[in-house]
Structure 1
Amino acid sequence: MRLARQWVDNLLRPILDDVDSNVRCKHNMDHVLPSLMDNIDDCISSCHHSTSSAMMTDEQLNFLLHNHYHRCKYRAEQVYPLETWYEILQKVCGNMKDFHGLIVNGCIEHEIVQYVLPQFQLIAERVGLFLWHDQLDGDSRLIKFAHLLMKIIPIELEVMQICYTNLKASTSAEVGLFIKHLLQISPDIHREYLIHLQENMVTVITPSTSGARNIHVMIEFLLIILTDVPKDLIHHDKLFDLLARVGALIREVSTLVRDLEEKSRNEESIDETSRATIDLLEEKIELLKEDLGHVYLKAPDSFQCCFPMNDGPLFMHLLLIHLNYFLDSNAYSITLIKDDIRLVKEAL
């Protein structure tokens, strides 16, 4: 184990020596390296006494999630132009860290989260491996980063569902603070996931695949909610319900995409079950469209009646998005876009 420790020390020392002195002081690097080496000792020691499939203790998992959070925070400040991706990874790790802390502190009943805890370990392991190998450059790092996000963000969606189903009515102050923070960070995380999900669809599923265009329309609609609808336009007491509903739809779309990808790889045609799933999802999307106006969005003020939103540039941006869809749309989506533009003209 001494040889392994010395090897890691020799690897890290020149890297940390090259760090700017202000950054060294800010992040207390002179203290970090000895502490890191002690932690690596523990990890190396545990590797000799366990298998990769062994469950971590709460202390081990908590330690890893904390370390991943701070490493991602540091990388977000240092790595250009990938700082946004590291910020997303930092938010995911921080959210998992805080949620796991609620479990350890007894704020959440263990039975509620028993099925998801092994997935927390997978997050810790996958993020740890990525951070260990993140010296990769260019396209290789981008591909690995996208692959990592596609693997870990579905677990974030599970956490959102658990919170909405089981913790929304909790009177715990700690749970309340966690949910408040969750509502702040989840739109960014879920938006990034949808973007990569759609990019992956483009590379794996051919445009002629039955149902592919319908899924693209669904994803674009969910992206509009997450990207272009300001939170101050949403009733405050309905925000959690809306984001949980969007999260549930993202989970269903993700499952459907994986099914279509598998069929595409195996050169199988879409079956009746998949068609029925697409039809059901479209119904849910249409219902959400109706509820946006009647349930979630605030009624316009009187001065807004002659313009649909209080943010003119935002509204024109939404219109531009719809117009751009004409470049690659099927007949169904073109009809929807024309209807939207007709409503815009009437409102103007």
Structure 2
Amino acid sequence: MTEKQKRNTVFPGSDPWTGNRKRPKLVDSKDEVPSVSGLSRPLTNRLIDIPIKPLSSYGAVPIPLLEGSPWNHYQSCYSLELGGPIAVVRKISATKDLFTMHSFSSSGADKKLYMLRQLKHANLLASLEIFSFQDAHYVISEHTEVSCEEFIVARPDEIQLAAIIRQVIDAISYLVSQNLVHGSITCSNILLTKDGVIKIANYENSTERSSENAFEDVKALGQVMKQLMEKGTVKGRLGLRQPSDWSQEAVDFLSLTMTASPTKLAEHPFLENSPQCHELVWLVSLAQRTAYWFYSVSARAKTRTQYKHAAVISSE
């Protein structure tokens, strides 16, 4: 199953985001959400009581699951690809805060809902609330700025690379502690906030850890690391074209991603005295200025496509 099949975001009143990069039409307000036939009462944002066993880090309050339209509380700003197709939204009573929204079908959603509400770690993309509406679930998450896919152009130095890998290892180690494998550790699923904090997306698609997939996430991290070191790579080939550009510790760490556990990698000298996430702040800023972005603004404005070093405006 491909990553896009795992996560298929469709916003109310929008066309699906298809493989040919079709940009969806945004819904501007809750008034444009299609009505639901067959209901004897209007939809409200009623709390759906589906008990879960919260982790200790949650305390007694799990992520709320609400019945009703997300547009009762949020307004679309624009759509783009960031860890999959998302909408950037803000609360209707506008504040300085932005959030992201993605959705998935209600069919077979129990496992995804459980993952989103049960799992919590500083390096997993935090879900804030989930709305159940029109045979789909809409997840409101914290806002992020870029993915590591944008870092392929704005290549990190070794200090920044260690700051990225350290945080991803921490997230993978947490999933291992829950007997889970993410299964899709890629540059596009590794997101960053403006403060340089890594946030892994799409962990709701995690699967149970087994002897067959135990090293899948670590091996995938090796491919991510190589992409960042060489501005892109051929999938499956781990050797560096120019290993002399990097320290022996970095090269050795990369080779160990084929066989070592997350715990063993976390103890490696490459990550010893790992730099703080603030080392990534300026790299996030640079990536925003050098990346290729495809996004769609509200229906009242023209669709804009931004390319590297130039903005091209076209109307549909």
Structure with the higher strand share, 1 or 2 = 2
Structures share a fold, TM > 0.5?
Answer: no
Structure with the higher helix share, 1 or 2 = 1
Q: Which has the larger radius of gyration?
A: 1
